[in-house]
């Protein structure tokens, strides 16, 4: 309570003090109802562009608790603050915010204890509700900062100095991707879509393994179990496929997997593999990863599977839209790259022109939230599912030629990029057995037929 009086008194002594703590403090940071009312009046005056003067504050206060006189109470705050030679205002502001967070956590804990003792309540529902409330408290505890251009430049210099030996953004895992998108910027949301068999999870896992050699990364895998996922992702390193693991490994394969366990021990990658997870749970776990291990890249597989708390059934398009919006917010809050994998709708996969477009991402409604939109296209798979309707030699020969060219390749289309050209395409070698992408050198200035290429040396 003493710190609250000092902070309020310091602002009344000099209104410049308000602006030095306004990005840290909010009304609920004060534990006293009277102090909340006083700070609310100060905030109202500042918002109206008026000076925070003692007569204006006391005149707007009205009645205080226990019938205290507003003028006398304001005078007391001024006297209390004036006795201090120096008030560490910034430190006190953080102390008040910390105390407010503790009060919220305490109230939550007391409520949980009361709920746990009620046998009529479902235990899992209690846990889920607590997770949502913790996420709310975490968001409230976060501090919103304003910054000048000069301060922002200083932050850039600090993050990308020559001594840091790394830039602000993340490098893509393939040279072709780097040519196409340049970089993955912090606080950005990358939507990566495609139909079944387009290897979205595989390329995301390859990016995660690449990034985690140097930077902390996390994966929320909602579709596959982690055993199959990891086995597939390291097959090119071990020579042991997921099928071999499921059927039983030989002694040599077992030894290679054991060796891989040691070589991958230094990768800074954490995998969360829950069948059902809400956005609040993703947020809470991601914040925990950020605080404990650091976090530069977060991947969610995939967007539509994230649960939304609702008593009514939510339309899939609305669910995807809300999830994309929340993931963009999370990317900004954590200052990390978020890649969300998206399964194209059935209608998008059945269209006559197969190349990906923005509209394939749930009708294009997600575009406003995305900084970058990428889409995988397995042309060979599409051709095999759509043979020519006639066996006339020309149509048959063209189809066979395209099937031959597209075998073992995946096309990646860039449909949106806030940081560069909006439209591009690259073709990559795709080894399905080891789920591995590799680069091609190609002439890719057209979007119609595949161009021949050769591997990088």
Q: Which residue has the higher pLDDT, 88 or 145?
A: 88
Residues 186-196: what's their mean pLDDT? 93
Residues 369-386: what's their mean pLDDT? 93
SS3 146: coil
Tokens of 281: 């749970």
What is the rounded CA–CA span in Å between residue 454 and residue 119? 67
Q: Give the number of residues written for the chain.
A: 457
Residue 267 has pLDDT above 80, yes or no: yes
CA atoms within 13 A on the CB side of 445: 1
Residue 428 and residue 437 in contact, taking contact as beta carbons nearer than 8 Å: yes
Across the strands, what pairs with 425? Answer: 413
Closest CA to 115 of 101, 129, 104: 129
Residue 323 has pLDDT above 60, yes or no: yes
Q: Which residue has the higher pLDDT, 239 or 74?
A: 74
Residues 292-321: what's their mean pLDDT? 84
Q: What is the per-residue pLDDT across 291-302, written as a single tens digit (0 to 9) for each? A: 888 999 999 998
Residue 146: CB partners within 8 Å, gap ≥ 6? 23
Closest CA to 294 of 214, 188, 229: 214
Q: What is the per-residue pLDDT across 72-131, written as a single tens digit (0 to 9) for each? A: 999 999 988 888 878 888 888 888 988 999 999 999 999 999 999 998 888 888 887 887
Measured on CA atoms in the order 261, 264, 265, 270, is the torsion positive or negative? negative
Q: What pLDDT, on a 0 to 100 scale, did the predictor assign at position 226?
A: 82
The mean pLDDT value of the chain amounts to 86
Share of the chain above pLDDT 90, in %: 41
Share of the chain above pLDDT 70, in %: 93
Q: Which residue has the higher pLDDT, 244 or 185?
A: 185
Q: What is the per-residue pLDDT across 199-238, written as a single tens digit (0 to 9) for each? A: 999 999 999 999 999 999 999 998 888 888 888 888 888 8
Q: Which residue has the higher pLDDT, 249 or 444?
A: 249
Strands 453-455 and 436-442: antiparallel
Residue 447 has pLDDT above 70, yes or no: no
Res. 146 pLDDT band, cuts 50 70 90: low
CA atoms within 13 A on the CB side of 221: 21
């Amino acid at each position: 309570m003493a710190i609250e009086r000092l902070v309020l008194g310091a602002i009344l002594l000099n209104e410049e003090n308000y602006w030095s703590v306004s990005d840290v403090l909010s009304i609920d940071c004060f534990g006293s109802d009277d102090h909340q009312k006083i700070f609310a009046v100060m905030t109202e005056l500042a918002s109206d562009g008026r000076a925070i003067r003692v007569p204006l504050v006391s005149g707007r206060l009205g009645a205080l608790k226990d019938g205290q006189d507003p003028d006398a109470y304001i005078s007391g705050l001024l006297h209390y603050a004036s006795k201090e030679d120096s008030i560490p205002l910034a430190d006190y502001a953080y102390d008040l915010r910390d105390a407010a967070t503790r009060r919220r956590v305490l109230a939550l804990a007391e409520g949980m204890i009361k709920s746990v003792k009620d046998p009529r309540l479902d235990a899992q529902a209690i846990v889920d509700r607590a997770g949502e409330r913790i996420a709310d408290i975490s968001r409230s505890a976060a501090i919103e900062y304003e910054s000048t251009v000069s301060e922002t430049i200083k932050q850039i210099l600090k993050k990308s100095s020559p001594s840091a030996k790394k830039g602000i953004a993340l490098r893509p895992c393939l040279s072709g991707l780097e040519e196409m998108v340049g970089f993955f910027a912090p606080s950005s949301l990358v939507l990566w879509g495609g139909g079944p068999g387009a290897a979205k999870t595989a390329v995301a896992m390859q990016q995660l393994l690449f990034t985690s050699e140097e930077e902390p990364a996390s994966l929320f895998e909602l579709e596959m179990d982690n055993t199959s996922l990891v086995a597939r992702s390291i097959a090119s390193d071990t020579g042991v496929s997921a099928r071999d693991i499921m059927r039983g490994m030989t002694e040599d394969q077992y030894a290679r997997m054991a060796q891989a366990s040691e070589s991958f021990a230094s990768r800074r990658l954490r995998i969360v593999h829950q069948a059902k997870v809400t956005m609040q749970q993703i947020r809470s776990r991601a914040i925990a990863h950020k605080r404990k291990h650091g976090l530069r890249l977060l991947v969610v597989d995939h967007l539509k599977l994230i649960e939304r708390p609702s008593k009514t059934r939510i339309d899939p398009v609305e669910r995807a839209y809300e999830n994309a919006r929340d993931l963009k917010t999370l990317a900004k809050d954590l200052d990390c790259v978020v890649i969300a994998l998206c399964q194209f709708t059935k209608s998008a996969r059945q269209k006559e022109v197969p190349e990906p477009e923005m509209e394939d991402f749930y009708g294009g409604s997600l575009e406003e939230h995305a900084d970058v939109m990428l889409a995988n296209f397995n042309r060979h798979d599409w051709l095999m599912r759509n043979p020519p309707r006639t066996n006339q030699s020309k149509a048959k020969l063209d189809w066979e030629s395209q099937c031959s060219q597209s075998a073992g390749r995946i096309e990646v289309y860039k449909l949106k990029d806030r940081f560069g050209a909006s439209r591009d395409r690259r073709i990559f070698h795709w080894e399905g057995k080891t789920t591995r992408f590799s680069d091609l050198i190609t002439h890719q200035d057209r979007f119609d037929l595949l161009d021949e290429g050769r591997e990088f040396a």
